[in-house]
Amino acid sequence: MPKVDATNDDPPLQRRSVFFVRLLLTGLLLTTAALKVLSPAESAAMAIAYNIPPFLTAMVVQAELALAALLLFGCRPRQTLFAAAVMFALFGAFSSYRGWAGYESCGCFGSFQVNPWITAALDGAMFLLAAWGAWKSPVDQHHELKRFYYAGGLYAVAGLWAAAGMISSASSSHEDATIGDTSGLVVLEPGTWIGKPFPLMSHLSPVVPLHEGRWTILIHHHDCPRCQEAVPQYERLAEAGNDRRIALVETPPYGEIALSEQGALRTRLSEDHEWFVQTPVEIQIDAGVVVGASLDLPAIAAEPLLVSQRGSGSESSSSLSTD
């Protein structure tokens, strides 16, 4: 069991306060690391959805476990608390960036979605506590070597367990071809669908006859500024008439837009899965087979007159969707 560090010149209340700060930081670091490892497939899918490199997630998990072990057993508390302050400052900067970029989650808690601004505020609070603890920790303190042995043993066990989980997650992300056999979180990567049957036909409500003729599909989210600009343009493109029918596919959670078969056909992805896809994305389909997919929205980019027109009823939103 970890001991409360004792020196002759430190007030007991201050020592206890620093001790509890260490425990709080240890608990948070162990929790976030465990959440990333205990649901490896969901964590890997979340990383893909939010453009977080898998190696970065693995490095963060190992750093969290190592620092938690050192904090728990009081190994050089001033230095480890300072390292914790630096780590939470970096976490706060990362969360703030993702909040500013409009992401719905920072990916810091594995498969659990937490608003980046909430995690940034939590990181800021932990930074202040860790900095205070480092400041109040004594400089000249007796360090028992066995504490490092205990910390090293804990990290060896936890680190190997985490590494095994992260390695297994590298091959456990959901494949588009097996969407019907999966449950929970599904990451959609339209760029990998080219030359294959459109994999979402059975997940649309109402059903769209995409196996017949040529289609331009826009997958969008209601709370996405770029989507709010693009949807009216695709509506006008459908009204103008071309050799492709237009389908607008909304991802859950849904907005208040009514489904319609006038102009562009509106449909929705069913709620039988939790979908993650970068929106808006345009997909070209010919007789049910995907022949193109692009985030550049080439159908409206090729129609400058339509692109230059803005629907006066279009609403704005402060968040960018990457479902």
* 297-311 pLDDT per residue, tens: 998 886 544 444 433
As a whole number of angstroms, the distance between CA 88 and CA 94 comes to 10
Residues 227 and 286 in one domain: yes
Tokens for 290, please give them. 């995907």
Residues 145 and 91 in one domain: yes
The answer on pLDDT for 236 being more than 90 is no
Res. 177 pLDDT band, cuts 50 70 90: very low
The answer on pLDDT for 9 being more than 90 is no
Quick one: pLDDT at residue 47? 63
Lowest mean pLDDT among 40-49, 146-155, 193-202: 40-49
Single out the residue in 172, 198, 217 at which a domain terminates: 172
As a whole number of angstroms, the distance between CA 264 and CA 240 comes to 10
Quick one: pLDDT at residue 262? 57
Res. 224 pLDDT band, cuts 50 70 90: confident
**Which residue range is the domain that position 287 belongs to?**
186-302
H or E stretch covering 269? strand 265-269
Which class for 126: exposed (0-12), middle (13-18), buried (19 or more C-beta within 10 A)? buried
Res. 175 pLDDT band, cuts 50 70 90: very low
Residues 139 and 204 in one domain: no
Residues 87 and 199 in one domain: no
Single out the residue in 172, 206, 224 at which a domain terminates: 172
The answer on pLDDT for 186 being more than 90 is no
Q: Which of residues 89 and 212 earns the better pLDDT score?
A: 89
As a whole number of angstroms, the distance between CA 186 and CA 176 comes to 8
The answer on pLDDT for 21 being more than 50 is yes
- What percentage of the chain has pLDDT greater than the value 70? 74
- Rounded to an integer, the average pLDDT of 275-294 is 89
Q: How many domains does the chain have?
A: 2
- 256 contact partners, CB below 8 Å, separation of at least 6: 222
Is 34 a member of any domain? yes
Cα-Cα-Cα-Cα dihedral of 70, 75, 77, 82, to 10°? -50
Residues 153 and 196 in one domain: no
Is 285 a member of any domain? yes
Residues 126 and 197 in one domain: no
Is 121 a member of any domain? yes
Cα dihedral sign for 38, 41, 43, 44?
positive
Quick one: pLDDT at residue 258? 53
- Name the average pLDDT for the chain: 78
